[in-house]
Amino acid sequence: MTKTVEFISAEIGEGAQQMGCKFGPARLRAMGLVARLRTAGQAAQWGPTVTAHDELLEHGKLAVVQGFTPELADASHAAAAARRFPIVLGGDHSCAIGTWSGIAQAIRPQGALGLIWIDAHLDSHTPDTSESGAPHGMPLAALLGHGDPQLTDVFGWRAKLAPEHVVVIGARSYEPGEQALLERLGVRVMYMPEVTQRGMATCMAEAIERVSRGTAGWGVTLDLDAIDPADAPGVGSPELGGIPAAEMLEALRGLADQPGCAGFELVELNPTLDDAQHTSARLCRSLIEEVILGEAHSRVPIRQAA
């Protein structure tokens, strides 16, 4: 890829039931992402670290996310506006509001943003439908323009995503209220049985086709809990029966080189729940290498297998 990769650390765990995702970005940074990309000939750098203000917790989880979102949005906006390729490392999934608001703002002069949301959950609650009140269950609704005004109106405009420009892949645990919102809006959801039947690579190809149509750019937000917990145990909300890691790696290979791809986000790694071998963190590193290096990277394991 000719663009420089810029990693942005989104240190927030306050949006979830458990705080551990706040330590995800530091864990990934310790794994040498930039050095490995550079060794492979890819320009890459560390960008800003945006850290949630935990002193706001006395006003509730939503207050922390309200404070964090515009700061992260400024960081992802700056990277995209400078024509670098942002990779945002979460953090709980509430960070997606900031990430994609910033990228939507950067490409707004050219047109609309598309987004592929890979997740075990729908993340489409509003404060009215959420039983837990945890903001990491709300980011997709906020980006579609529904929910708390401070989260929907970043940069002074609402609905960073139009429903026809969104595809959700891998959902297998959700509540009726959030499902009703997505159905009413007409968002395409590929639930887990469809992904199992058709294969992740086929679903991904259809999703890219859909989010490319009528948009000026598109991205992917990957919640690690979409992957089967046998392959990625270090997540806050594990759900049995997910997408095998091998299928996910294959489906994301060379993603950044696809026409229109404007950014990538990887969230919900909870290193405090990972195993002693850091299996989940190492999988995250491999996923990023597949996204950025694509075929150049994949030749190595294929040759070893032969």
Smallest gap from residue 135 Cβ to Mn ion (A): 11
Smallest gap from residue 288 Cβ to Mn ion (A): 18
SS (HEC) of the chain: CCCCEEEEEEECCCCCCCCHHHHHHHHHHCCCHHHHHHHCCCCEEEEEEEECCHHHHHHCHHHHHHHHHHHHHHHHHHHHHCCCEEEEEECCCCHHHHHHHHHHHHHCCCCCEEEEEECCCCCCCCCCCCCCCCHHHCHHHHHCCCCCHHHHCHHHCCCCCCHHHEEEEEECCCCHHHHHHHHHHCCEEEEHHHHHHHCHHHHHHHHHHHHHCCCCEEEEEEEHHHECCCCCCCECCCCCCCECHHHHHHHHCCHHHCCCEEEEEEECECHHHCCCCCHHHHHHHHHHHHHHHCHHHHHHHHHHHC
Shorter beta-carbon distance to Mn ion: residue 42 or 237:
237
Hey, what amino acid is at 300? Answer: V
Smallest gap from residue 245 Cβ to Mn ion (A): 17
Shorter beta-carbon distance to Mn ion: residue 25 or 294:
25
Smallest gap from residue 141 Cβ to Mn ion (A): 12
Supply the residues annotated as catalytic.
93, 119, 121, 123, 136, 223, 225, 268
Shorter beta-carbon distance to Mn ion: residue 223 or 290:
223
For Mn ion, the binding residues (CB under 5 A) are: 93, 119, 123, 223
Shorter beta-carbon distance to Mn ion: residue 85 or 174:
174
Shorter beta-carbon distance to Mn ion: residue 42 or 101:
101
CA distances from 6 to 118, 229, 306 (A): 21, 28, 34
| Among the listed residues 258, 238, 239, 245, the one whose alpha carbon sits nearest the alpha carbon of residue 285 | 245
Shorter beta-carbon distance to Mn ion: residue 167 or 293:
167
